[in-house]
Structure 1
Amino acid sequence: MSTPPPPSSTPLPSSSSAPQPETQPQQQQQSQPQPTARPLPRFLENDPARTGYDPSLKWWMNYFKILAGQITPEGIEHYREDRYKANEARDCARCERDRDYLFQYSPVIRFLRDKVTALNGTLDASNVVCRRCPARVAEDGRVVRQGGGFSPDHGILICANEMRSRSHLEDTLAHEMVHAWDHLRWKVDWMGGHDLKHAACTEIRASMLSGECRWTRESITRGNWTLTQQFQNCVRMRAIQSVMARATCRGDVHATKVVNEVWDSCFADKRPFEEVYR
């Protein structure tokens, strides 16, 4: 989970008076040294001579160039971003329709909304917003992309251009709503200013409880047909990736170490659910 840019929406109030649970890592003292942040990745601008993708051409001409293998993987990502820009209004309208449907009919979304309301929070169309989220191609070829985000001050962002279906949106929204519940229930150090244990714990819980790591999605959508420890491996992997997105994380080794430190207690914490049922 990465913190989204501030949408124009109603803030989600914080219930900071709630006690710190035994399954949530304790904050370190202010006097402890701050971790050194990683340098931000450099992003590549499209160069038609290098990528083969020429934005001055019609979109269908570039599409046929992709089919013919005349555009590099980097160029395909630049093409994809330009198509997202062209279809932004359509994607956001579809996202908002699916969001409203889920708030009305989805059992998991309605359950989490009620639990957030019980902690004096509000999640509705005013602070669950659909926007186009730009993806960037890093210098090392890695594509930086997100499906959504939670901000304690602004609410939930759903990246409309990344949503493949209503079911995908349901998983993404449930993930961010678990973050919202954690924010209201406990005082979470979201960006890891003191340490990254809070971020690791809420990411473990969100991936575990949202349904995004269930076997059917892993196997059909991601092609992972592993039968042993598939669920645990998915939750761990996604938590590590999300912790790595924090500015204070020093890399994959650091993120893995932090996730492992809180794994046992946070993976066992199913609240506000009684069990993992998705």
Structure 2
Amino acid sequence: MNILLWLSYKGTRYAGFQVQPNGVTVCAVVQDAMQDLFGARPDVKGCSRTDAGVHARRFALNFHWETRIPCEKLPAALNARLPMDIRVVAAQRVPEDFHARYAAHAKTYHYRMRCARVDDPFDLDTCARVPGPLDLAAMQAAAAGFVGRHDFTALCAAGSSAAAHGDTVRTVTGCTVARDGEVLTLSVTADGYLYHMVRILAGTVLQAGQGKLDPAQVPAILASRDRRRAGPTMPARGLFLWEVCYPGLENPGV
């Protein structure tokens, strides 16, 4: 049967989700736990390839396996074999042709920034400290400029396979900035993303907040398709895959 697992993980110790030869990855650790539980190593399909240091509040993966363990008991069974910075939140059976990556209708990412003179020791690896003061209204105006269907080449890092094939158009349905004390959270929802797109978008929005960029420039930045026109790539530690939407499937609350 085809099983969908919902994960939550802190990516600080990992070289991203996808298995790779040089570094411990979230996928490899999850498969290690499956090997211990099932006696074999199922092939898994993840919803995304999060980079080193990036976190996930809700990450989806699916795998095909025949097991007598009821789906509702799989989280506890796997969590007993996983490190505490990776948790299985829920498990459910899905149609045989379901694929965690290709079935995703939309994904939401959050990027967290702390506007403070001093780092907070409690969120050093889950939040990027940025210099202030920041103009929240300007950041919100810049963020709104990214909503819509655009060519996001200007927000794509070098080395993108999608860009190499000319596949750079994405639809952003939501892009907002909210502030809670010293912490600002950028929330982006889209049907897909380019390499480092959210981190570059966060750097561009930050520049608007610092007065280094007029929010009205965003359409011209996108139209230029020039990476040099956008802001810096923000550190991975502030980025979270927050939610993945599958039509017709229940998503465990975040």
| TM-score, structure 1 normalization | 0.23
Higher strand share: 2
Q: Which has the higher helix share?
A: 1
Give the TM-score normalised by structure 2: 0.25
